Structure 1
Amino acid sequence: MIRHVAPAFPAETLPLQLETIGMKPDQEIFIRPGGYPHFHWLQTLEGEGELTANGQTWRLPVHTGVLLAPGVPHRYQAISSLWRTGYITFHGSMAEAFVHSFDWKTSLRFQWEEEHDRITAHLESMLAFAESGGDPSGWQSSADLYRFLTLLRTDARMDNRPSISKRLERIQGLLSWLDHEFANPRIGLAEMAERLGTGERQLNSLFRELFGQSAYAYLIHLRLRKAKEWLPSRPDWTVRRIGEAVGFRDASHFVSTFRRKEGMTPDTYRKLYGAAAE
């Protein structure tokens, strides 16, 4: 049975706005020379299909999908005896900016692992909620759509590299170790690389892919985050003591680093948030 829902449109345009969502038990051929007017997600639930867009043709077995930008000419059809699909179409005042923030192109193919398939589970949950009619404002569907797109970003991959979730799993032990050992001023890039069992260059490359910064910059950020927690909550500790407690070798280095990263001195930060706490 075809399941297709066009949720109620609120009077105001939401940042992310669900237009339609559904599942087709046996997907027919679609040819759209002018594309679809909104963002269009299509994924395979069973069988296999084929989609052509921007001069590329992608096979779509189970656990793959394609995201198309508005107006991209495309066609898709089954290449197995049965092709069951799920789909989402959406727009919104921030939709284009949101998609571009992930550096996604006009048409992209995603694939993900069968185990712990959160992408399909979330689509099914969104569809069931839309069918219930329990969201006249559209805000819950907007939040669910945001979650769906972030799952594509973290759980799926667009090339042969592991997904962000898989890469995070690989370094989770190192991150947990840093969360306990950040106060040790002797920790540096060499120690982190040895802990993970990789080279320093590879470690920095991995951290830049995941966090947009080097491994040592991540450690400095962690130390400053701990300092920002302690400055207002431990008023009896001097700035020097807090700096040393989070891993800085001397107070001047702590103060200068804090000012450069946070735009104020530790003492100013303490007064700003300490007054609020009082």
Structure 2
Amino acid sequence: MRRVVPASPAELLPLQLETIGIKYDQENIDRPNGYPYYHWLQTLQGEGELSTHGRTWRMTERTGVLLSPGTPHRYEARLGQWQTGFITFHGSSAASIVQALGFGDAEWLQWETDKPIITDQLESLLSFAEAGGDPSGWRYSGDLYRFLTLLRTDARTDNRPAMSKRLERIQALLDWLEEHFGNPDIGLSEMAVHLGIGERQLNERFRELFGQTAYAYLIRLRIRKAKVWLPSLPDWTVRRIGEAVGFRDASHFVATFRRLEGMTPEAYRKLYGEARDAETSGI
């Protein structure tokens, strides 16, 4: 077995590593009161079985379960020897981060055969912990966040493809919008036709990935481009920039910019203009 309990810093970090390790022959575990911290368990080789809240999951290779603190559970090997990797963690922002990533009290995840990145990240973090290279804990905190985001993007739940796979399905449309966002005639129907799916299905995909409709994504893309051009093209009027990024009239552009950014395009430009002036004068 490889197991590391890193030093605990005096201050509670946003994410704090409690233990990390690999068990080459996982024993049976029964925790009716759960574990006191967040607990990630994944299969490296062999097969196990994990039960919680009346559900039982097969723990085959490239699967894992993330359990919240205090979640009752038990797990045991199936079909011989079971090799597992584990991470336990807590932290001042742990609950809010796990919730923001969309994970519940007990989340079963699975990833693709050709995507060992999650296992690679666990083994990399374990090797770093064994070397004792982070007495402050801040490197662990950052690495834990990257690990959790990998679970969110490269693993799948509820038989849905991983986020990375779902992004691949609409990447052609995203690339097309990056080139044609300035065309004011682009709407939901044109985007759906470009991807070869219905408008309703298109919006469902965008809501799953970005939390907004496809047209709302386009509007934010246009505003993002305007934020690049407003400071960098000082000779262009606000009207000209609004038209260049796809708005038919200046009033609509100004109103949309104010709604999304909390200030007018001119105020945004002035903010960055003042910053350039201060930099030039050495302030």
Name the TM-score class by shorter chain.
Answer: over 0.9
Give distance in 2, aligned partners of 1:236 and 1:201.
41
Q: CA deviation at 1:174?
A: 0.9
Alignment pair present for 1:246 and 2:256: no
TM-aligned CA deviation for residue 116 of structure 1: 2.1
SS in 2 for 1:82: strand
Asked if 1 retains the 8 angstrom alpha-carbon contact of 2:101 and 2:149, the reply is no
In 2, the alpha carbon distance for the partners of 1:92 and 1:263 equals: 32
Q: Judge conservation of contact 1:7–1:18 (CA < 8 Å) in 2.
A: yes
Partner of 1:52: 51
Q: Which runs of 5+ in 2 are unaligned?
A: 278-283
For residues 13 and 259 of structure 1, the distance between their equivalents in structure 2, rounded to whole angstroms, comes to 38
- Which whole-Å CA distance do the structure 2 matches of 1:174 and 1:45 have between them? 37
| 83-92 vs 259-268, which moves further | 259-268
Please name the residue that 1:197 is paired with: 196
Query: For each residue in 1:86-144, what CA deviation from the matched residue of structure 2 results, as whole angstroms up to 9, or x when unmatched?
Result: 00000001111111222322111111111122111100110010011111111101100
Distance 2:252 2:205 in 1: 27
Maintained 8 Å contact 1:232/1:277: no
Matched, 1:207 2:219: no
Q: Deviation at 1:11? A: 0.9
- Give the letter for the 1:209 counterpart: E
Q: Which amino acid aligns with 1:126?
A: L
Q: Which amino acid aligns with 1:241?
A: R
**Normalization by structure 2: what TM-score?**
0.96
How well do the aligned residues superpose, as a CA RMSD in angstroms?
0.9
- Under a length normalisation based on structure 1, what TM-score does the superposition of the two structures give? 0.98
For residue 266 of structure 2, what is the aligned residue in structure 1? 267
Query: What is the aligned partner in structure 1 of residue 179 from structure 2?
Result: 180
C-alpha contact (below 8 Å) 1:233/1:274 kept by paired residues: no
Distance 1:34 1:148 in 2: 26
Compute the displacement of 1:42 (Å).
0.4
In structure 1, the residue matched to 2:102 is: 103
* Alignment of structure 1 residues 1-278 onto 2, 5 Å: 2-278=1-277
Give the distance between the partners of 2:70 and 2:49, measured in 1 at CA: 19
1:277 alignment partner, SS class: helix
For 2:40, give the aligned amino acid. Answer: W
Distance 2:15 2:259 in 1: 35
Shift of 1:232: 1.0
Fraction of identical pairs, as percent: 69
Alpha-carbon separation, structure 1, partners of 2:276 and 2:195: 39
1:15 aligns to what SS in structure 2? coil
Cα distance in 2 for residues equivalent to 1:162 and 1:139 = 32
Counterpart CA distance in 2 for 1:229 and 1:189 is: 25
The Cα shift of 1:233 comes to: 1.1
Matched-pair contact (CA < 8 Å) for 2:181–2:246: yes
Structure 1 residue runs of 5 or longer lacking an equivalent are none
